[in-house]
Structure 1
Amino acid sequence: MVDAKILVIDDNKSVLSALEILLQFEYKWVKAISNPNQISSFPDLQDYDIVLLDMNFSAGVNSGNEGLYWLREIRKKAPQISVIMMTAYGAVDLAVKALKEGAADFVLKPWNNDKLLATVKSAHELRKSQKQVNQLKQKENNLKQVINQNSNYIIGNSRSLNTVLKLVSKVAKTDVNVLITGENGTGKELIAREVHKLSGRNNEVFISVDMGSIAESLFESELFGHIKGSFTDAKEDRAGKFEAANGGTLFLDEIGNLSLQAQAKLLSAIQNKTIVRVGSNKTIPVDIRLICATNVNLEKMVADGLFREDLLYRINTIRVEVPPLREREGDILVLADFYLKKFTVKYGKPGLRINQSAQEKLMAYSWPGNVRELLHTMERAVILSEGNILKPEDFLLQTKSAISIDTGPETLEEMELIMITNALNRNDGNYSAAAEQLGISRQTLYNKMKKLGKE
């Protein structure tokens, strides 16, 4: 007994009785009505899985127009129902017309019981498939909402920040590629998310990829996907980030960390708007809005032969420069207050406030780590606070003299930090060049920076 609800609509009482008897042994719920006018007020029509609908209800009429009219009415009220049309007057053009109007199938009277049951079974399978598709679409939409949720906000009202946001609002309405530049910790990903949020793709997914954290050997697999068996650990087919972002926005952070070989592959995907999974020769079209970000001088990298000039042109249609925190006059205390409220709630320390001297200390500091450094500073101060007032001594701020060889590092981590900092300074923030100078891979350098809390 199949758990499905079937509605039979026919003005012939003998037809109704015959179908009820036939179907009740196969399906749990069978309802029969003789007047199609009941459709307009039929309760819970959308809960039915299948409708068997006669095409002619008036004596002497065999055009099928009445059935087509009621088919349209049913689909208005319950578009997911599988409707099977029934008529004693078979004509190919009538069947085609019914299918174009959305009917699932067409049955001629008198019917063969086995064929009719097979038709109903197929219609029920179609109904189940449509339900599954709708459920998957709902899950997909829910997943997109979860992925696109962003608990971080762009906080501040300084002139320099407002200038950036004004540019973002203009750029977002287009579909051009955007390059976001700025120091570490300035909030480049937040700006990228703002572009996505204000764009026509905001109902689609925003995929963020940290290019500095992807090993060279996994670059193609991560971005373009792979097929089962294409390499040792490829146990199943997998879509890459380009496919995952199809229809939405792909954000490639730390784009300056790519090797020249990886740059060539990325350029090909951007130019052709297609990708090929590792181990496959099938091209897959992709439709993405590309946003890239970097904290290095790409023009200098081009001059040094470390970055492809044609790739720079491709990703740099519009450039958005995110100002460092020290240039966002007035925003330091606004951000400090925002994070203070956030962390007092998180750590259960209500009533905390920053006194005047501490505010002046925060304002006077240059914030080399920008907003990210301010966030960590506020969190640390709230965690370690012992009273209701945060004083200057509660804020442990680094100075350049605190990270230099003259201070005499006492641990290997301190020495590593000094060497890495000096190498990056000498190479204008270029990870690849700094890594080569230090005698380590770019991935190892990036991992060390993460471990030291500098990324």
Structure 2
Amino acid sequence: MESDKELGKILIIDDDEDVLLAAKMLLRKHAENVIIEKNPKKIPFLLNNDTYDVILLDMNFSKDITSGKEGFYWLEQILEREPTAVVILITAFGDVEMAVKALKEGATDFVLKPWQNEKLIATLSSAAKLKKSRNEVTQLKQAKQALEEGINQPFKDIIGESDAIKQVFNIIDKVAQTDANVLILGENGTGKELIARALHQKSLRKDKVFIGVDMGAITETLFESELFGHKKGAFTDAKDDRAGRFEAANGGSLFLDEIGNLSMQLQSKLLTVLQKREVVRLGTNKSIPVDIRLISATNMPIYEMVEESTFRQDLLYRINTVEIHLPSLRERMDDIPLLCDHFIKMYCGKYRKPIKKMSPIALKKLQKYQWPGNIRELQHALERAIIMSDSNMLSPDDFFFLNQKAESKAESEPETFNLDDVEKSVIQKAINRHGGNISKAAKELGLTRASLYRRMEKHGL
């Protein structure tokens, strides 16, 4: 046997105490727990209060010595309460017709009294494995049902009612059922992958796969292998033939996150595949057609990158048939109460704490903070507050760390009054504030983009 406790939790019901004690003595070495019960009327109580991997049930109780009717009655009661229960019947008579009838009515197997110890253990071992398989099937069915319910619930994971997020929902509704390529633009932490998944779930491809790829995490050397696949022996570690992400997503949606991080060389390779709609695995010359719905995302200023010749214009045209601009959290402050409710329920459930409430003054504090990390930062702030707070009401003090962040970013007296150093510092802060968007930084500084670029070059920024 693989383990001396492989039988899990066993329930034995028999009105013969000698049988119960003998079975318990034998099985306790092989089972995690052995529960014995003399009175079958306790079965409903036992099933309501616990679950069992295998149930051993006597067919003939004292009221009905030979017909097995009482055993059949309790078999029916067990399966009515627990349809996936694994029940092995015990009989002293070896009646073949009774055994066949029991199997037809839902019993898994039967054993004869007096039993052979090795035979009983082997029978229970097979039954325990069957129970494990049934549990796994049940879990898969539940997961599938939850997935289907999620698919049918529009924008389930995207929390918000502000005008800014409603505009995003409107675009998703219009574009989702087309196969148009979509480019999602937005700062880090705004939920670009959630939008990509919503597009897939509302598309005609919703029953097919959704494959996500973090382009920023793929090295140049592994780019072709990861995306287009390889043949065994194509390079040192290629020990098997492997399909790339494009092939894996065939028929479904492919989400290329952080596409702005690709080098010009990799952009060229990606463009070729998107134009031809086919891939060639490394180490082969065979073209494999792929049918995907492409969704891309970036937090980079991609139009400025085109102007600076760091992103191919023809690739941009290819990936952005439709654009979705995701608003930052500071552009949708009205959604903070809804987001707080959502994350509070999530983390109170996760950490098994009573549901906490947000005090009005704490909520006001969160709505005044600028959230440079967007929804992801808000989520982490609420998770930390729920873990650390001893009260059922979250107060401003539970978010003291936001004060520290705000103070560290607040304007303070410069360490130097050298004009060049001050100018460099101000330009850097403006660029950081706008997430690297040069146009917005230049506008805030009262400069043209060309002037800002000259000053950046001057200061080595």
- Please give the per-residue CA displacement for 1:296-324, whole angstroms capped at 9, x wherever unaligned: 11110011111000000000110000111
Cα 1:169/1:178, change in 2 over 3 Å: same
Residue in 1 that maps onto 2:176: 172
Cα 1:425/1:224, change in 2 over 3 Å: same
8 Å Cα contact 1:354/1:391 also seen in 2: yes
Residue in 1 that maps onto 2:258: 254
Residue in 1 that maps onto 2:397: 393
Residue in 1 that maps onto 2:346: 342
2:335 matched to 1:331? yes
8 Å Cα contact 1:358/1:391 also seen in 2: yes
Cα 1:334/1:423, change in 2 over 3 Å: closer
Q: Would you say how many aligned residue pairs link Structure 1 and Structure 2?
A: 279
Letter in structure 2 aligned against 1:425: N
What is the TM-score when the length of structure 1 is the normalising length?
0.57
Residue in 1 that maps onto 2:408: 402
Structure 2 counterparts to residues 92-131 of structure 1, below 5 A: none
What is the TM-score when the length of structure 2 is the normalising length?
0.56
2:248 matched to 1:244? yes
Residue in 2 that maps onto 1:64: none
8 Å Cα contact 1:148/1:206 also seen in 2: no
Q: What CA distance in whole angstroms lies between the structure 2 residues aligned with 1:423 and 1:230?
A: 47
Residue in 1 that maps onto 2:232: 228
Question: C-alpha displacement at 1:222, in angstroms?
Answer: 0.6
Letter in structure 2 aligned against 1:207: I
Q: What CA distance in whole angstroms lies between the structure 1 residues aligned with 2:258 and 2:156?
A: 20
Moved more, 152-161 or 307-316: 152-161
**For the aligned residues, what is the CA RMSD?**
3.0
2:208 matched to 1:204? yes
8 Å Cα contact 1:222/1:240 also seen in 2: yes
Question: C-alpha displacement at 1:230, in angstroms?
Answer: 0.3
Question: C-alpha displacement at 1:352, in angstroms?
Answer: 1.4
8 Å Cα contact 2:345/2:355 also seen in 1: no
Structure 2 counterparts to residues 348-427 of structure 1, below 5 A: 348-395=352-399, 396-397=401-402, 399-403=405-409, 425=432
Moved more, 385-394 or 283-292: 385-394
Letter in structure 2 aligned against 1:334: L
Secondary structure, aligned partner of 1:216: coil
Question: C-alpha displacement at 1:351, in angstroms?
Answer: 3.5
Residue in 2 that maps onto 1:281: 285
Extract unaligned runs of 5+ from structure 1: 1-138, 409-417, 431-455
Secondary structure, aligned partner of 1:293: strand
Letter in structure 2 aligned against 1:156: G
Cα 1:147/1:247, change in 2 over 3 Å: farther
Q: What CA distance in whole angstroms lies between the structure 2 residues aligned with 1:262 and 1:144?
A: 40
Question: C-alpha displacement at 1:425, in angstroms?
Answer: 3.1
Cα 1:425/1:172, change in 2 over 3 Å: same
- Please give the per-residue CA displacement for 1:172-211, whole angstroms capped at 9, x wherever unaligned: 1110100000111111111111111111000000001111
Cα 1:168/1:382, change in 2 over 3 Å: same
Q: Equivalent of 2:295, from 283, 291, 294?
A: 291
Secondary structure, aligned partner of 1:217: coil
Question: C-alpha displacement at 1:392, in angstroms?
Answer: 0.2
- Please give the per-residue CA displacement for 1:195-242, whole angstroms capped at 9, x wherever unaligned: 111110000000011111111111111100111000000000000000
Cα 1:221/1:406, change in 2 over 3 Å: farther
Question: C-alpha displacement at 1:148, in angstroms?
Answer: 11
8 Å Cα contact 1:401/1:407 also seen in 2: no
Q: What CA distance in whole angstroms lies between the structure 2 residues aligned with 1:378 and 1:299?
A: 35
